Chain A
Amino acid sequence: MRNLLNFLLKYNNLIVFLLLEGIALYWLTAGNAYHNSRIVKGVQGVTRGLEERISNVRSYLSLREINSQIAAENSALRNTIERFTRVDDLKFTSVDDTLFHQKYQYTSARVINNSTNNQKNYFTIDKGLRQGIKVDMAVTNGINVAGVIVGCSENFSVAISMLNLDFRVSARIKSNGYFGSLSWNGRNYRYAVLNEIPQHINVNVGDTIETTGYSAVFPEGMLIGTVSDLKKSGSDFYNITIELFTDFKKLYHVNVIGNMKRSEQRELENQFQ
């Protein structure tokens, strides 16, 4: 007993150290997250009030930084608002085409879905009924033909792409005015086919092909492509391959053309059919 007391007395520091260290290490290594969180929660009540004060003071110190952040965010939001309001104000821009004596209106849109690898390709644009888009409006890439609207929802529209076996557009050779029907043969997304050009007229590689405006979907004089290859077949017509101006793999900003007094033309035509 005496020895034990002596021992304790001699090594009391070590014992205290080991005891306290044991407590600390136990706390540290109590891998049980439950115990940890219990302890932390128990003591957080003590430190929370002080920590709140600290963070209050610290938030004052960072006011300048927060200010500049908010300013940047504000300007970004203002830009966004401006973009939206401008789109709503200028729904359609009028074009007075003196070359072909025609008037039409167009609005810009973005392509949000597109394909070129199917036989029947469609693409989707980010405007719909609410923005004044209607079925049968023409879609162009600048002044190059891209497609025709075939369906609209409130805010989106689907257009049939030129790269669709069902797509037809009335097209003519710019230099001599002979017209035919242009379609896609489903092979290469860069090339379309112009049919119904009779063999007695003179066609050269490199001739420009443009729309006729007969269908009242596309205005007159929208560009389609250039003649890249022509063959005389057994029939009376050429086989003309057209290299398209519109690269459908990078189609992004498009114009939607409408309001061409199309209904008036259609009504008049229907009287004679």
Chain B
Amino acid sequence: MINTILRFGIIIIILVLIQVLILNYIQFSGFVNPYVYIMIVLLLPSVTPAWLILIISFLAGLIIDLFAGSPGMHASATLVAGFSRPYILRLISPRDGYESGTDLSMSAYGFRWFLIYTTIIVLIHHTTLFYLEVFRFADFFRTILRILLSSFFTIGFILFIEYYRRGR
């Protein structure tokens, strides 16, 4: 139990640092901003109570907000993702259900499952985030383009990280 908390604490810190130190400075042509820290929400164990997920995602978003200088954007977007996570998990649950001992990882449930899981959560998060960012529907399709491009890169980064995490 303590071990798990420690492990996920380290994962959260590393992901936040990657986001804050590296990815926040990557902006390809103003369209693409990968937000890999959403992986925090993805990786929390399946037995985590929903309220704890909410609090963790709120705090993670808050920290990103502090560094990005944006008021509450990331916090609310991550909250939406964290809130929807149990429903997504139920929706795409494997035939045998989730085992309480295993992580929600690519190695445990397979590449295809992880890709679907990641894609849904990332799309929910990015959609909320980018629409909160523009805060109007004026540039509706432009925003959709930004969401899709950024999601593509975020998912790519997450799969990349997950792949090497499995290898370790």
Contacts and interface: CB of A to CB of B under 8 A. Distances in A.
Contact of B58 (A24, A46, A54): A24
Given A25-B76, A40-B69, 4 more contacts: A13-B50, A16-B54, A20-B54, A46-B66
The main secondary structure of chain B at its interface with chain A is helix
Interface in B38-74: 50-51, 54-55, 58, 61-62, 66-67, 69, 71-73
A20 B79 contact: yes
Given A25-B72, A40-B71, A43-B66, A17 B25 contact: no
Contacts of A47: 66-67
B21 A54 contact: yes
B51 A39 contact: no
Nearest to A21: B79
A24 B54 contact: no
A32 to B, nearest CB: 11
Interface residue tally on B, bucketed by range: 20 to 34
User: Which has the most chain A C-beta neighbours within 10 Å: B51, B54, B83?
Assistant: B54
B73 to A, nearest CB: 6
B80 interface: yes
Interface of B: 20-21, 25, 50-51, 54-55, 58, 61-62, 66-67, 69, 71-73, 75-76, 79-80, 82-83, 86, 132
B71 A27 contact: yes
Contacts of B55: 16, 20
Interface of A: 12-13, 16-17, 20-21, 23-28, 30, 36, 39-40, 43, 46-47, 50-51, 54, 58
Given A17-B79, A46-B66, A54-B21, A26 B72 contact: yes
Given A13-B54, A16-B55, A54-B21, A28 B132 contact: yes
B76 A58 contact: no
B72 A12 contact: no
Contacts, number: 60
20 contacts: A13-B51, A13-B54, A13-B83, A13-B86, A16-B50, A17-B79, A17-B83, A21-B79, A21-B83, A24-B61, A24-B73, A25-B72, A25-B76, A27-B75, A28-B71, A28-B73, A30-B71, A50-B67, A54-B20, A54-B21
Contacts of A27: 71-72, 75
Nearest to A14: B83
B53 to A, nearest CB: 9
Contacts of B79: 17, 20-21, 24
Contacts of B75: 20, 23-24, 27
Contacts of A23: 58, 72, 75
